[in-house]
Amino acid sequence: MVNPGMAQPRQEIWYHTGYPGGVVGPGSGVSALTGPTKMPAVFEAIWRNRLIDPEKIHTDSPALKKKSPPAAPPIDLESLREVHTDRYLKALFTGEPRCLATSQGLPTWNENIARGWLLNVGGLYAASKAALYKKTITGNLGHGYHHATVNRGMGFCTINGLVVVAQKIIREAKAKRVMILDLDHHEGNGTAESIIGESSIWNVSIYGSYMGGPPSAGNNHVFQIRHDAFEQGTKRDAHYLAVISEILPSLIRLQNPDLVLYQAGMDPFDGAGISNEALAIRDAYVFSLCRSMGKPVTWVLAGGYADMETLVELHLGTVRKANEVLMKVKAGDRIKHRERKPYSWFPQNGAICFPDWKSLIKETLHWNEPPSMSNSQIQEFVALRDQLHREEQLPKDEIASAYRRLFSIKP
């Protein structure tokens, strides 16, 4: 039974019990990085706290049997091949060569884990379609896997679902432009490598830790925040939020995306000392800004290293803020910065009032924006990526057979 005192949100989320692939680890450290342990923990906390109505949760979980719509199917093979090389995909599907199948850093491979990756991206695609169709906010309790590159994994990321879904949505003419907004503490290097030269997809990565990704380009906007410019506490929080609010609105207006895929990273909490209050109002700001501009949003879970109880509560902040924004904000509302309390926001007379974070710190904002690639450098980058796809291409029957065996699908 839904708590009768709970506001009824229109947010929908997707979660398949196959996402974790049966992997269970300790409550912090590597488990928190790789995600399999926290995904079911976040799902269970959402249901336990009645944050989403059962009819809005697309899942196969027995806990919601006959109350919820079904979970999404796995992502299709052709969409995967648009982003990743055949050689890499076959390794993910079969486990061989093992060094490539576990290149993201996982200690093992099995078919359940591999199926989980594909179910995860399938859920992200379904959530994105719903956000576009209903002009709303949706979520997928999986990962965007933003470190995954064209031909290998990295940083516990395997399939770059953010790029796979963005390309599929555009290819199917469901959208003309997609923005990938990445607020993980770590740079979205794999996303950048995969989308440079694809003018319909923008990567906006506002991070604290550089991961070796390419420079800025026409559609790759990367900004490294200097968190160490301020002592940990309210001032560092305000600086983080001020940088985001300084950068993001103009980029959304400039690209005018039909959909925003939001990598809602929680690792600024432990990676940069940003408070849980700051991360919660960050999410409220992102959702409010997009909704006021009429931009549908689909969010995904992303980084975090805290103990599991803390990490789950951080992610629940994203869920709660999406619910609140859907209740309070509508297209055409104005975002205003005038409130002095650093973590307070509220609607007032057609405006959504957020703190004036820049005036709170009373100092210059500290971030680095690398110089952009030239047009000739972008063309060379794209040519090398295309060459890599050709060099690692396999016969279609071979890669299709490996995909079918994973799901026991008959040809």
Among 100, 372, 332, smallest CA distance to 214 is for 372
> How far is residue 93's CA from residue 101's CA, in Å, rounded to a whole number?
8
Closest CA to 243 of 289, 299, 282: 282
Instruction: Name the β-bridge partners of 138.
Output: 12, 298
Mapped onto helix, strand or coil, the DSSP state of residue 128 is helix
**Residues 6 or more apart in contact with residue 272 via CB below 8 angstroms:** 185, 208, 225, 227, 236, 240
**Whether the Cβ atoms of residue 23 and residue 62 lie closer than 8 Å to each other:** no
How buried is residue 337: exposed, middle or buried, by Cβ count under 10 Å (0-12/13-18/19+)?
middle
Q: What is the pLDDT of residue 32?
A: 67
Residues 6+ apart with CB under 8 A from 322: 9, 11, 137, 139, 283, 287, 297, 299
Dihedral of the alpha carbons of 45, 46, 47, 49, in degrees to the nearest 10: 80
Residue 97 preceded by cis peptide, ω within 30: yes
Tens-digit pLDDT string for the chain (411 aa): 334 344 454 799 999 999 999 887 777 777 766 678 899 999 999 999 999 999 999 999 998 988 899 999 999 999 999 999 999 999 999 999 999 999 999 889 999 999 999 999 999 999 999 999 999 999 999 999 999 999 999 999 999 999 999 999 999 999 999 999 999 999 999 999 999 999 999 999 999 999 999 999 999 999 999 999 999 999 999 999 999 999 999 999 999 999 999 999 999 999 999 999 999 999 999 999 999 999 999 999 998 888 899 999 999 999 999 999 999 999 999 999 987 899 999 999 989 999 999 999 999 999 998 889 999 999 999 999 999 999 999 999 999 999 999 988 644
CATH 3.90.1310.10 fits 12-407, yes or no: no
> What CA–CA distance (Å, rounded) separates 113 from 28?
20
Give 137's contacts (C-beta < 8 A, 6+ positions apart). 10, 11, 131, 287, 291, 296, 297, 298, 299, 322, 325, 326
Can you tell me the distance from the alpha carbon of 162 to that of 180, in angstroms, rounded to the nearest whole number?
7
For the chain, give every domain's residue range. Answer: 12-407
Amino acid at 137: I
End-to-end distance of the chain based on CA atoms, in angstroms?
43
Angle (deg, nearest 10), helices 276-292 and 234-255: 20
For 137, 352, 356, 368, the CA distances from 338, given in Å and listed in that order, are: 26, 10, 5, 26
Q: Name which of 267, 249, 80, 127 is nearest 184 in CA terms.
A: 267
Looking at 1-149, list the stretches that DSSP marks H as alpha helix, in order from N- to C-terminal side.
30-34, 38-48, 77-81, 86-94, 98-101, 111-134
Q: Quick one: tokens of 135?
A: 């002009």
pTM as predicted: 0.96
Question: Would you say 196 and 338 are in contact if contact means Cβ atoms under 8 Å apart?
Answer: no
Q: Are strands 346-348 and 351-355 parallel, antiparallel or unpaired?
A: antiparallel
Strand pairing category for 351-355 and 367-368:
unpaired
Task: Give how far the C-alpha of residue 324 lies from the chain's centroid of Cα atoms, to the nearest Å.
Answer: 20
Identity of the residue numbered 58 = H
